[in-house]
Every structure is written in structure tokens, then in C-alpha cells.
Chain A
């Protein structure tokens, strides 16, 4: 079965420190992977995506993600966290059998402390 796992419900990091939000996936074939961010009572905002090519993908607001095929992971990273990065982050993978659909993880809440 196709799935996305975000193993951490919450990640806490001090402002200025690097942050990592983890995501692993399980799909057959080459995955299309996405990261979204959600601020309180708002819709999801697209951050970045991996389709093919360079394993390090750069996105909005200084975020980047590293695709690792051998570990089936797509972790979200940022070199220096800001308090304003505090939000809910979702990883998603395109459904291989119905390519108009995305499969979302359960989300990871990032808390950045001043």
C-alpha cells in the first residue's frame, strides 16, 4: 500500500539552530514528493517538490529537502530556524495509480523557541 509517514508529531528547536522535519514514503516506482506548511486556521501553502534530478530541492522561505532513494526519505531542512517557522508541516506523495491524487502524512508540528 502507498503511504507517507511523519514519525514525529512535534519537533522543538531553538531559534537560529538547524531544523529537520522527517518524512518517509512507500510507493512503487519513482515518487513525486511534496512539502506543505499550514499556519493556524489557514490553508496549506506549497513549499517545495521533488520530481526528478538533483536530490537536494530548494523551496520557499529558505527551506530545502533532501531526497534519499535508498532510505525512502524526503526530510525537510532549514539551516537556521525562525520563530515564524512555527507551524504544521505536511509531507505528501503522488498516488501512483491515480496521478491526480496526493497521499498526505499526518503532519508534524514545528515549534521554534526564541
Chain B
């Protein structure tokens, strides 16, 4: 988990509210990712960013939004449009294909945020 922090560890939200999950890294990585984890379904990619001020939708982007204004930070907002937001959310980063000459794309993960909708 070293180098990537997520806050808060636990988050409770009422239905209809937007909530923002924080992800910060001090690894000088270009690429950052958000995943959602549900029991028995593994990890599903929500959004990812390969460079500041740019990001791409993953497999399940509906109901989520992100920003990448700084290299170190990649916050995820879970909007009220997300029908089933209760899950464990994981942030990750990697050095980025442009600088990773071996193109190994090892991703390093934060400790996660568990979101519960009440």
C-alpha cells in the first residue's frame, strides 16, 4: 500500500447524495486508476488516467466522475445516478507506458475505501 493513500477508509452515504473518494500518490506515477470490487466479481475498472487533465472511461463508468488536475491526485465522485454504489473502491497507480520502457505496467494499489449507502 505504500505511496498511495485513500481516504476515508469507511464512508456512509444517504441515497441521492454525491460523495467524493480521495486518492493521492507520491510515487511520481503518470497513470492512475479506479476500480470497484464486489464479492465474487473481482475488480472492475471505473476510470483511468494516463496523464494530467486527461482520463478515459473504464468498463463501468456510468454514475461516476473523475478529475485529474494534479499528477498526484485522482478523486472519484460517486453520483446519485449510480444505482448500486455500495462496494469497496480501490485506487491504483503505475509508472505509465510512456516512461516504463519495459512496458511492465505494474499497478500499485491503495488500501481502499468501503462505501455503504444507507
Interface residues of A (CB under 8 A from B): 9, 32, 34, 36, 41-46, 49, 51, 90, 94, 99-102, 104-107
Contacts and interface: CB of A to CB of B under 8 A. Distances in A.
Given A44-B43, A107-B42, 13 more contacts: A41-B112, A42-B1, A43-B110, A43-B112, A51-B102, A94-B103, A94-B105, A100-B48, A100-B50, A100-B94, A101-B48, A106-B41, A106-B42
A42 B97 contact: no
Contacts of A42: 1, 111-112
A102 B105 contact: yes
Contacts of B4: 43
Contact of A43 (B41, B58, B104, B109): B109
A94 to B, nearest CB: 5
> What is the interface residue range for chain B against chain A?
20 to 34
The winner among B104, B105, B109, B110 for most chain A CB atoms within 10 A is B105
20 contacts: A32-B103, A32-B104, A32-B105, A42-B111, A42-B112, A43-B1, A43-B4, A43-B6, A43-B110, A45-B109, A49-B104, A94-B103, A99-B103, A100-B31, A100-B50, A100-B94, A100-B97, A100-B105, A102-B107, A105-B42
A49 B48 contact: no
A107 B42 CA distance: 6
A13 to B, nearest CB: 21
Contacts of B42: 90, 104-107
A106 B94 contact: no
Contacts of B66: none
A99 B97 contact: yes
A81 B21 CA distance: 36
